[in-house]
Each structure stands twice: as C-alpha cells, then as structure tokens.
Amino acid sequence: MSHFPVYRARRLRRTATLRRLVRETRVTPDDLILPLFAVPGEGVRRPIASMPGVSQTSVDELVADAREAAGLGIPAVLLFGIPDHKDETGSSGAEEHGPVQEAVRALKLEVPELAVMTDVCMCEYTSHGHCGVLEDGEVANDPTLELLAGQAVSHARAGADLVAPSDMMDGRVEAIRGALDEAGFEQVPIMSYAAKYASAFYGPFRDVAESAPQFGDRQGYQMDPANGDEALREVMLDVQEGADILMVKPALAYLDIIWRVKEATGYPVCAYHVSGEFAALHAAARLGWLDLDRAMTEALTSIRRAGADMILTYWAREFARLAG
Ligand code: PBG
C-alpha cells in the first residue's frame, strides 16, 4: 500500500460529491422501527417531558402516528402497552382487549402496509414493576415463562406480525416459540432482546411506560454492562431456541456488542437506541451544546456501521423527515 506523499487520504474528502461516492454506511427510513406507547381511552395524547416528541397515546392517536411513520417510509412500529390496572402477576398483559391488542387490531386494519411488532414483557403490567412474577421477593424464572408465552399468543391472535420479548428470563424464546406454534402462529417471528443490559439509560422509558421497579433493580436478570462474552452466550442460546432477529440494547454504549453479535451469528441484528441515549442528546441540544440533527445522524450511522441491520429509535420519524 502506498503511503504519504503518494497517498493522501484527504483527496477523497475534498468535495461533497467525492465524500458521497466513498461513503460506506447509509441510514435510510427502511432501517428504522418506531416505538409507540398505547394507553386505554380515546383522544388521549400525553407527552413525556423527558422524551421530546414521544407520547402515551390512545389507539386512535397511535394510528395517526403510525400512519405518519408509514408515509415517511418507515416499515415497522413496535408497541408497548400501559394498562389501566396492574396486579402481582401482570394479568392485564394477555387481555384480549388490552391497549396493545387493540392497537394491533386497529393498525392491521387501518395501516396495513406497516409491520406491527409488540414488546412482550411483564414490567408494564405488574404492580411491582418487575419483568416477571415474584417468589420470596425474587423474580421467578420458570413461572414467568408461561405468562410471557400467554402474552405473546394474545398479541399474535390480535394480528401482530412479530413479537419481541424483552424480559431476559432464561428459556423464554423456546417457551414463546412453542406456544405460538401450538396456537397456529408458526409463521410469526420472534425478535429477541438477546443481549439486554441492566442500563442507566432506561430512565425516561420507565416514565413513559410507568414500569420502574417498586423495589430493588433489574440486575438479577438483565446483563452486567461489563460483560461481552456473556452477551454471545445469551445470543447463542436464543438462536438455538429459535429466535429470528437478535437485539442488542442499549446501542451507543454497546457498539462492540452489536459488532460481535453480527460477526458471530450472521443473523439479522436490531439495535435499540434507548430512551436515555435519545434524551441525553436532546438535553444537550436544548442547552445549545450540540447540533441535534447532526448528533442524531451520527448516532444512527454509528449504530449501522457497527453492524446493526435495523434500529429501534424514537427518532425514526425525525430522521426520515431529515433524510427525505
Ligand atoms: C421492558 C423494557 C424496557 C425498555 C424496553 N423494554 C425497560 C427496562 O428494562 O426497564 C427500555 C427502552 C428504552 O429505554 O427506550 N422490559
């Protein structure tokens, strides 16, 4: 390889056209999934202070947001539900007429060109806010599996195109795959939150999903941010259990994990650019400390460059507008 002064790397950076030609990574609306939050009722739109542009919405408003996303070329939304009642076992999560199930039905009818994904977890539905049922004050793995499977089947029954378990219980992909197949939904894929870390960056999400744990934290089931090899073990288990898409979460602080998961599996990889990452950049921009459009573009580009095929991001619409 030739070197200076024969090779000058700056030659290809001199003009916008040359930079465009040699650009290696592009983010397009095709790569993005928009998270949406469904609440019961009608005409409800409750903005979340810590997440500019994100609201809790009733089904009618949620359909309007989803329609806008589809119009901008975004292929998919992922739904979270906030129920009007919570109990110890999160029973409202599997209700036929829960906010997620109703939103799925409405979207399949009114915005059929959109893929509708659903988050499967207990923390939005349990009174204690943990991602599973409790036994002796601890989240009990195996009894939780059946409840997760029930919730996933109820989403599929409503018409969900894909289910995405985010609880981090061991064996949930197998349990959900089995239950879906048994109920006749063998064509519904599972996007597994395979490597989900016990992260400080979920704070704003817990405001919008009203899912903060009422005691303790999630370190007993979500991963230690210090571990990378363990992420590969988690991912391999989910592959063996039948996961179709592997998720790494959060994204920006875990770009190495995205890279390793893609290299090790060759599976479709989704990265969740989570609420705290989004809120931090917004807050800095509000203070005038950085340029939001550029920071957003750089963040999303870096996630793609690390190997993510798709990005779950609250910025899906803003980015599509900017790109369009
Ligand atoms: C639920 C869940 C969480 C997020 C997605 N699904 C929160 C958590 O684990 O506490 C976080 C998403 C975000 O911060 O944007 N298990």
Contact in structure between 210 and 223 (CB atoms under 8 Å): no
Å from CA of 272 to ligand 1 middle = 9
Q: Residue 292's pLDDT is what? A: 98
pLDDT of residue 1 exceeding 90? no
Å from CA of 11 to ligand 1 middle = 44
Å from CA of 10 to ligand 1 middle = 42
Distance CA 115, CA 77 (A): 7
* 166 Cβ below 6 A of ligand 1: yes
Residue nearest to atom 5 of ligand 1 (CA): 166
Task: Specify whether the backbone of 53 is left (phi greater than 0), alpha (psi in -120 to 50) or beta.
Answer: left
Residue nearest to atom 10 of ligand 1 (CA): 202
Q: How high does pLDDT run on average in the chain?
A: 97
* 116 Cβ below 6 A of ligand 1: no
pLDDT tens digits along 214-259 = 999 999 999 999 999 999 999 999 999 999 999 999 999 999 999 9
Å from CA of 18 to ligand 1 middle = 41
Residue nearest to atom 2 of ligand 1 (CA): 166
Using CB atoms within 10 A of its CB, is residue 117 exposed (0-12), middle (13-18) or buried (19+)? buried
Q: Which atom of ligand 1 is nearest to the CA of 275?
A: 15
Q: Which atom of ligand 1 is nearest to the CA of 314?
A: 15
Q: Name residues whose C-beta falls within 8 Å of residue 87's C-beta, 6 or more positions apart in sequence.
A: 125, 126, 127
Q: For ligand 1, pick from 166, 167, 192, 270 the residue to mutate: most ligand atoms within 8 Å of CB.
A: 166
Distance CA 89, CA 131 (A): 10
Q: Residue 154's pLDDT is what? A: 98
Q: Residue 210's pLDDT is what? A: 87
Q: Which atom of ligand 1 is nearest to the CA of 273?
A: 15
pLDDT tens digits along 170-199 = 999 999 999 999 999 999 999 999 999 999
pLDDT of residue 28 exceeding 90? yes
Mark whether 196 is an active-site residue: yes
Distance CA 175, CA 24 (A): 40
Å from CA of 96 to ligand 1 middle = 23
Å from CA of 198 to ligand 1 middle = 10
Catalytic residue among 86, 108, 196, 262: 196
Q: Residue 162's pLDDT is what? A: 98
Give 207's pLDDT tier (boundaries 50, 70, 90): confident
Mark whether 108 is an active-site residue: no
CATH architecture of 25-323: Alpha-Beta Barrel (3.20)
Q: Residue 311's pLDDT is what? A: 98
* 34 Cβ below 6 A of ligand 1: no
Q: Name residues whose C-beta falls within 8 Å of residue 218's C-beta, 6 or more positions apart in sequence.
A: 130, 131, 168, 198
pLDDT tens digits along 83-129 = 999 999 999 999 999 999 999 999 999 999 999 999 999 999 999 99
Give 324's pLDDT tier (boundaries 50, 70, 90): confident
pLDDT of residue 46 exceeding 90? yes
Distance CA 68, CA 305 (A): 27
Residue nearest to atom 9 of ligand 1 (CA): 202
pLDDT tens digits along 270-315 = 999 999 999 999 999 999 999 999 999 999 999 999 999 999 999 9
pLDDT of residue 43 exceeding 90? yes
